[in-house]
Amino acid sequence: MLLSLAPIILLVALLSASVALFGSDASYGPNQVALIIASAATMLVGWRRGMSWQAIQDGMVSAITVSIMPMMILLSVGALIGSWIISGTVPAMIYYGVALLDPGVFYAASAVICALASLSLGSSWTVAGTLGIGLMGIANTYSLSPAVTAGAVISGAYFGDKLSPLSDTTNLAAAAVGVDLFEHIKNMLWTTLPAFIAALLVFTLIGSEGASTPENIASIRAALDAQFAISPFVLSPLVLMLGLIYWRVPAYPAILICTLAGTLLAAGLQGDVVRELATATHPDSPAPLIQGLWMALFSGYQSPEGMSELSKLLDKGGLASMLNTIFLILTAMTFGGMLDSTGILRQLLDVVLRGVKRTGDLILATVGGGFLTNVLAADQFLAITLPGRLFTPAYDDRGLNRLSLSRTLEDSATLTSALIPWNTCGAFMAATLGVATFEYAPYALFNLICPVLAVIFGYLMIAQPRARAVDP
């Protein structure tokens, strides 16, 4: 057992040293180095157990294969942000948003807006990458906390994702333990609704101390209006995105289509802005327009010199902005894949189950198992399926309905994934919203409250249905 723990202990020590030495820059290379060194240690453990390199490699490759689509979505979101800024879509969201959203209830309102959108679309990533970007811009305009705003966006996005029948994690959790999807969603209301209400109350209490004055808001709106051709029409890529997701177009092609729509809109309506971004000469030729659009897609938008107000709001996006995050995901999935293929992860989860004596212990073990898998395997899908398979017999033996297991898997595995910097979800949210994971994590209130509530309900025997004669 001590040998199995060695890579974990090493990783914790290296990550701690990384934060101590590099501070907020730890995720920009140092954490990746820590994950690579820990992967090497895991490989040595596998060899010590008699495993071949080919078997270890297969596990690593399998884990990376699972993460390819999230990484492609991440890259496409980078291009989407660049195209939506230069097209005026994000500036328009900020322009109209500051006029409609009251800063006094901004955090709570942001959570509700994202919750409704995610409930309709079934995708926390899509909501964060579209509405979330606009809300972060509005928060910056009001001089409100980016960390609290990101926490509110994530809270709302995950609330809707968790309860949506269109969500891949919701479907996976139900399928992993063999329960009906809609029964699963209905049962999740026990923990999900109280946790979200509690989060909204806290967001309301936080308030908006330090919000910008109306004069500051007016000057920022004037700057946006002067730089971009602002009109309701430039919001059409956002409407298109909502429509595509509603029609169940997969996330990756939907994002690509909306990126193209933003690019074409920029070429047609924001020609001067695009040309300012370009370095090509010959202003009478199409070269500056093409180059400016190209640069927005791969390096993001850059405000003209002397426009510091807009620079803080809009200088972001592009494929290049996501490369460090992809580096983090690759190294994390390498480590997680090796842990899985060497059997270390399964062994650790078995240890988690050993101390189970009553229902509360079992719920706590499930929450801990989901969180542990998220930390070590860096993927929420593994954090649902692996504990789901391992813990199902324990729930059956105790006569508990598997709905309790599927709900607890969502309360832990789905929600805590966004709180871990090297997890695919945590890395995505940090890169998309522009706030480090450890900075927004204390304010992702829904994601923090729900696992705690699940454990409390377990020990108090609240909403722990008994198994039916024939479990679904």
241 pLDDT band, cuts 50/70/90, is confident
Among candidate residues 349, 450, 432, 366, the one with its CA nearest the CA of residue 400:
366
Q: CB–CB of 386/373 below 8 Å?
A: yes
Tens of pLDDT along 69-113?
Answer: 878 887 888 898 889 889 988 888 888 877 777 788 889 999 999
Calpha distance 17→395 (Å, rounded): 39
Q: Which of 33-37, 59-63, 248-252 has the highest mean pLDDT?
A: 33-37
Calpha distance 56→61 (Å, rounded): 9
Backbone angles phi, psi at 470, to 5 degrees: -125, 105
Q: How far is CA 293 from the centre of its chain?
A: 27
Read off the pTM.
0.78
Q: What is the pLDDT of residue 263?
A: 93
Among candidate residues 206, 89, 209, 92, the one with its CA nearest the CA of residue 142:
209
Among candidate residues 112, 107, 146, the one with its CA nearest the CA of residue 432:
146
Tokens of 460: 């108090």
- Once rounded to an integer, what is the mean pLDDT over residues 407-423? 92
Tens of pLDDT along 165-206?
Answer: 878 888 888 888 888 888 898 999 999 999 999 999 999 988
Q: Is the pLDDT of residue 415 over 60?
A: yes
Among candidate residues 246, 437, 470, 208, the one with its CA nearest the CA of residue 332:
437
Backbone angles phi, psi at 400, to 5 degrees: -85, 140
Say what percent of the chain tops pLDDT 70: 94
Q: What is the pLDDT of residue 471?
A: 43
Tens of pLDDT along 3-36?
Answer: 778 888 888 888 888 878 887 677 778 888 988 9
Calpha distance 309→339 (Å, rounded): 47
Q: How many CA atoms lie less than 13 Å away from 334 in the CB half-sphere?
A: 17
**Run of H or E including 440:** helix 437-440
